[in-house]
Amino acid sequence: MAGWIFNWAAVYLEMRTTIPRNLQPGWFRLNVVAALLACLPAAAAAVPETRSLDGAWEIAFDPDNRGREESWQRDAVFVGLSAKREALVPGCWEEIEKDYEGVVFYRRSFRAPAEWRGRVVRLQFDAVNFIAEVWLNDIAVGRHEGGFTPFEFRVDDLLKFDADNVLTLRVVGPILLQDKRVDGIGPLETPQWRGAITGGIWQSVRLVASGAAFVSDVFIEPRIADDTAVFHAELTHGGARPLPARVELLVREAGGSGDPVAQGGGELKLHPGVNRHDWTIAIPDAKLWSPDAPNLHHAEVRVILDETLSDRWATRFGMREFTVRDRRFHLNGRPMQLKATFWEGLYPVRLANPDSRKMAIREIRLAKEAGFNMIRPWRKPAPPMWLDLCDELGVLTVGSPAIECMDFPVESARLPGWVANEIRGTVLRDRNRACVAQWELFNELKRPVLKRLLQPMADLARELDPTRLILDESGGWARGARLYLPGVAEPLLFNDIHHYPGPDIDDGTFEKLRWTGVKSVEEMRAMGLEGNTPGKNVVPGLMTFFSELGYGSLPDLPDNNRRFAEAGNPTIPPAVYHRRLADEHRRALEESGFASLYPDLSAFCLEQQAIHGRSNRRMIQAVRVNSATAGYCIHALTAGDWIIGAGLLDLWRNPKTRAYEDTKAANQPRILVARVGPRNVYAERGATLEITGVNDLAFVKGRLEIEVMGPDDKVVFSRNIPGAMASGMTPFFSERLDTTQLDGAFELKARFIAQDGRPAAEGSETFDVFSAARLKPPAHRIAVLDPAGALKPFLDRQRIPWSEFGEATAKDAPVFVSRTMARGPAQERLFADLAAFVKEGGTAVYLQGGGAWAAFGVGGDASPLIPVPAKLKQAVGMWTCIPHLVKEHPVFAGLPTGGAMGPVYRNVRPRTVLVGAGGQAVTAAIGFDWFPDYDRLRRHYYGPGDTWWGAGLAIVPHGKGRCILSQLRLLENLGNDPVADKLLHNLILFTAESPQ
């Protein structure tokens, strides 16, 4: 009936537009009725129909892979199996069978309507992971390899009409956790997303019935320059002889109802098999699609044979153009700053599919409300429903095939073919979507088998879709990133940067982010910027996009675990590792002695989220004042598995407090970047205040209001300056602040007020001023073991009395060791003598207790020159937060204590900590290993590794004496940061005055 009504309306519209208006009132009504009645029987018999096969299926797990040999695909055999269960399609099989890998058989019965007899019927799968072998009524239909893209088979010759039919699948899933091979596929060999096993029929299944000729594909190419759209149509004729056909193309505004705004088509002679034809349709006054105005058009293609509708195909598309000009992204001819966020696409219950449409809407809206205009899906084509919402709600997305993920899949001769299949299927599936702005093919390539595919896969994507940007490799690890512009075969070189700078961005890190892509590494070195610079294969002068940038924090684990208990599935990985992380972090707080600071684990998680937000805000500000930056992508909107900490939303799609809010503030179209240099100020030296405006909107006039607020909210400095914010960057203000009379914690606040009185932008930054009285050097004499000569010059400048450590050193004189390094046998003997000194009752302060460096993500033995065994662990954090906690203690007198180290500790916070040193931890870092079982198979599935804790400063007994082991970065900051000076002073006072 629905199809007949459709034809009825089509005839009505056609006659209405062709009959002269003066004949319409009487003659028109009579003849329309006659014409519509005449077309009713033929139209009703051939209108295309769709029947969903989603819902409850039967499933039989085949862990021994004997089902094929025993013919489980035969209906009589399957129904006799004793271990059958019910499974929901679409759905991942690990929702009902914990951690299952291997082979599964599915069965579903259905009835084929009698009126389908004589039609072409296609069986369509949106995605089955990984190998699907299909039987219908005990007859083999076909096979498909590839887990994330659609495929179909024609089955009308196998159907029983007006009777029951049985559909059976044998599915071989990916192998991630177990060391085994199934059908020749071994561990981590298949292209695979990392959030779940995603085994089985994890997306929708349907039957589609049409006439003899049907639409097999249409690619709509919008051309906004002249308000036209080119329909590249692929029509399949299922018969054996040529036949004439009429193709009608209709374009309506979003919703698909109402009169067409454009139409076209024509007469064709269809040959058996595939027929291709292009039509260009003018769309007068076309409304463009953008995140601010997501105007969609509804396209319809009809194939009519002998005046009977044989097939009808429909989709939505947007009139929009996304490209690069003048080293900037442009949408519909206008430059835009790309503000993207990385999206893992993992859900708390359904795993690879949204738990509900409501949950999908919530995360997309929260992304937009946080100021993001693009979402970058990670290594998995997003579910169709989710992309529908992005089209409707107005957010750009990246097309991301599931072809590699952080060193995987492992190399095999089949891999290039699988990669090509996934790219082809992803592009063909989503190339009509308004939201998909570019194809991102690879990510951080290391292996030759995939590097060799960069050019051919870019060529394939360009052949299938000449209208979009194509990024060959995010991160540019292989040879630098290359971007293919729409319609252009020669790539454009640009800087695509992945960088995780850690917490509380210090001045050096800020400056490196600010100048990446503008200055060379050598030029940055000349500016005094040491250490690693952002990105790989970066070339100054090119357009720069920070495609991965961010920090991390734990979600509120107690709240999340309550949700998992109430509405989750206790066997699936997210529920398991959320429970595990909560238990392990409670244990780490107890073992480290910091549980009293966080009797409620939620408070610990929320403090991490505050650090996360502060860090994100600062790094976003830094890249926004970089003149080469065309955009950035914050890692991540939501996150799971081993990057669980990165999300701004937790897995249940709840904003992570300050992490979300501070990122949202930094994303605003107009911001003020406030900076105080240095962050920690010697009162007698003064500080520089700087305000830079960043404006993504139109020019606005007004005034800049600046205040410096001190203790008790006292205003110690203010300015009111008329000015304007032009588009782009505006260096508003730079002035020295006299701090000779100041002491304590301060905040620089800035607001730009538009002429109409409304606030247009704001920004702030905290800083601390240390008076000479607070930094008065101690008068106690100490002994020194200074192998590198790094400590004595500072002691001399401060007039702190000292003497060389040696045989004459008294047991009550604390010995300060600058670096745990020995240059030759003589110094080795001194360290041995010091160990004996401590054992006999002395005190030694090792300012770089375990050593200065630990490899990324890997621990190692601490320096053998300290007299207690310990391990060294990196403790900076990348996409996870590693908070450094500090107790109230005389070593930290006059500094903030009783929680996580805040911005005042920015320069001295340890980069490494000591694990297993024992004693009393005065400061401690708590984290978890990023990569679980790094060389094994669980890396991409069961969340992060084990939780650990290590001391940044510990007081450790040794014999009759004690060692104070510090990983605080004091030496390199003495004389440059008053916090380093203060801590050294306190250490001297504590060790000289406190008894053993």
User: For 387-416, how does the pLDDT look when each residue is reduced to its tens digit (9 = 90+)?
Assistant: 999 999 999 999 999 998 777 888 999 999
Averaged pLDDT for residues 447-468? 96
If you average pLDDT over residues 166-178, what whole number do you get? Answer: 95
Q: How far apart are CA 72 and CA 58, in angstroms?
A: 12
Query: For the purposes of burial, counting CB atoms within 10 Å of the CB of 56, is it exposed (0-12), middle (13-18) or buried (19 or more)?
Result: exposed
Is residue 869 predicted with pLDDT exceeding 50?
yes
Q: What are phi and psi of 601, to 5 degrees?
A: -60, -30
Task: Please say whether the beta carbons of 318 and 296 come within 8 A.
Answer: yes
Look at residue 531 and give its three-state secondary structure. Answer: coil
Q: For strand 228-237 and strand 213-223, is the pairing parallel, antiparallel, or unpaired?
A: antiparallel
Q: For residue 892, what is the DSSP state?
A: G
Instruction: Give the whole-angstrom CA distance, residue 453 versus residue 456.
Output: 5
Average pLDDT (490-507) is 95
Strand partners, 95: none
Write down the residue that tokens 């917490």 correspond to. 503
Coil, strand or helix: which one is 304?
strand
pLDDT at 15: 35
Query: Quick one: pLDDT at residue 859?
Result: 65
Q: What is the pLDDT of residue 407?
A: 78
**Cβ atoms of residues 318 and 391 within 8 Å:** yes
**Cα–Cα dist 418/424, whole Å:** 10
Structure confidence at residue 5 (pLDDT): 36
* pLDDT score of 506 more than 70: yes
What is the per-residue pLDDT for 573?
92
How far is the CA of 323 from the CAs of 334, 469, 543, 841, in angstroms?
A: 10, 6, 13, 71
Q: Helix, strand, or coil here: 80?
A: coil
Could you write out the three-class secondary structure of 750-787? EEEEECCCCEEEEEEEEEEEECCCCCCCCCCCEEEECC
Q: What is the DSSP letter of 190?
A: S
Q: In Å, what is the CA distance from 775 to each residue of 197, 199, 322, 796, 835?
A: 58, 63, 57, 15, 31
Q: Is the pLDDT of residue 8 over 90?
A: no
The one-letter amino acid code at 456 reads: P
Q: Report strand pairing: 744-754 vs 700-709.
A: antiparallel
Q: What are phi and psi of 971, to 5 degrees?
A: -55, -50
CA pair distance 449, 799, nearest whole angstrom: 63
Mean pLDDT of all residues belonging to the chain: 92
Biggest distance spanned by C-alpha atoms of the chain: 122
Q: Give residue 809's pLDDT.
A: 96
Compute φ and ψ for 526, nearest 5 degrees: -65, -25
Confidence of residue 21 (pLDDT cuts 50, 70, 90): very low
Residue type, 693: G
- Please give the pLDDT value at position 104: 98
User: What's the average model confidence in pLDDT over 146-150?
Assistant: 97
Residue 978, C-beta contacts closer than 8 angstroms, at least 6 positions apart:
680, 681, 682, 768, 770, 774, 775
pLDDT at 31: 39
Asked if residues 377 and 345 have their Cβ atoms less than 8 Å apart, the reply is: yes
Do 978 and 682 contact (CB within 8 A), yes or no? yes
Dihedral sign, Cα of residue 675, residue 677, residue 680, residue 681: negative
Amino acid 856: pLDDT: 53
Which residue is it, tokens 């690069």?
A: 324
- For the residues of 605-654, what is the DSSP string, one character each? HHHHHHHHHHHHHHHHHHHHT-TTEEEEEEEEEE--GGGGGG-SB-TTS-
340 and 280 Cβ atoms separated by less than 8 Å: no
Give me the residues paired with residue 638 across strands: 343, 649
Q: How many CB atoms lie within 10 A of CB 811?
A: 14
Q: Which tens digits make up the pLDDT trace of 210-245?
A: 999 999 999 999 999 999 999 999 999 988 999 999
pLDDT for 304 equals 97
> Could you give the C-alpha distances from 800 to 778, 814, 908, in angstroms and in order?
7, 13, 21
In whole angstroms, give the CA distance from residue 248 to residue 908.
71
Express each pLDDT in 846-861 by its tens digit: 998 776 555 555 568 8
Angle at 646 between CA 641 and CA 647, to 5 degrees: 90
pLDDT tier at 329 (50, 70, 90 boundaries)?
A: very high
Peptide bond into 481 cis (omega under 30): no
Q: How many CB atoms lie within 10 A of CB 153?
A: 16
Per the DSSP assignment, residues forming a β-bridge with 954 are 921, 965
Which pLDDT band holds residue 1 (cuts at 50, 70, 90)?
very low
pLDDT average, residue stretch 330-359 = 97
Integer Cα distance of 268 and 294 in angstroms = 35
Q: Tens digit of pLDDT for each residue in 287-297?
A: 999 999 999 99
Q: Answer yes or no: are the C-beta atoms of 703 and 721 closer than 8 Å.
A: yes
Q: Give per-residue pLDDT as tens, 560-572.
A: 999 999 999 999 9
CB 483, CB 495: distance < 8 Å: no
What is the C-alpha to C-alpha distance for residues 974 and 792, in angstroms, rounded to an integer? 11
- pTM to 2 decimals? 0.93
Kindly state the average pLDDT of the residues 894-904: 98
pLDDT tens for residues 716-729?
A: 999 999 999 999 99
The residue length of the chain stands at 996
Contact 554, 928 (CB under 8 A): no
Percent of the chain with pLDDT over 90: 87
Dihedral of the alpha carbons of 663, 664, 670, 672, in degrees to the nearest 10: -40
Lookup: tokens for 639: 């996150």
Give the per-residue pLDDT at 429.
98
pLDDT one-digit tens code per residue, 726-783:
999 999 999 999 999 999 999 999 999 999 999 999 999 999 999 999 999 999 999 9
- Structure-token match 């249409």, residue found: 218
Per-residue model confidence (pLDDT) at position 857 = 52
Q: Which residues pair with 142 in a beta bridge?
A: 134
The conformation of residue 116, written as its DSSP 8-state character, comes to G
| Cis bond upstream, residue 678 (ω within 30) | yes
Instruction: Map 200-238 to HEC letters.
Output: ECCCCEEEEEECCEEEEEEEEEEECCCCEEEEEEEEEEC
Split at pLDDT 50, 70, 90, the class of 44 is very low
Q: Report the C-alpha gap between 168 and 75 in whole angstroms.
A: 8
Dihedral sign, Cα of residue 131, residue 136, residue 142, residue 144:
negative
Across 211-337, the runs of DSSP E, i.e. the strands, are: 213-223, 228-237, 243-253, 262-270, 273-282, 297-305, 308-317, 322-325, 328-331, 334-336
User: Can you tell me the distance from the alpha carbon of 74 to that of 95, in angstroms, rounded to the nearest whole number?
Assistant: 26
> How large a percentage of the chain has pLDDT more than 70?
93
pLDDT of residue 415: 96
pLDDT, position 933? 56
Rounded CA separation 49/210 (Å): 7
Q: Predicted confidence band at 590 (pLDDT cuts at 50, 70, 90)?
A: very high
Confidence of residue 422 (pLDDT cuts 50, 70, 90): very high
Q: State in Å, rounded, how far the first CA of the chain is from the last one.
A: 92
Residues 6+ apart with CB under 8 A from 65: 102, 103, 182, 183
- The three-point CA angle 488-490-496 to 5° equals 100
Average pLDDT on 157-186 reads 95
Q: How far apart are CA 204 and CA 305, in angstroms?
A: 30
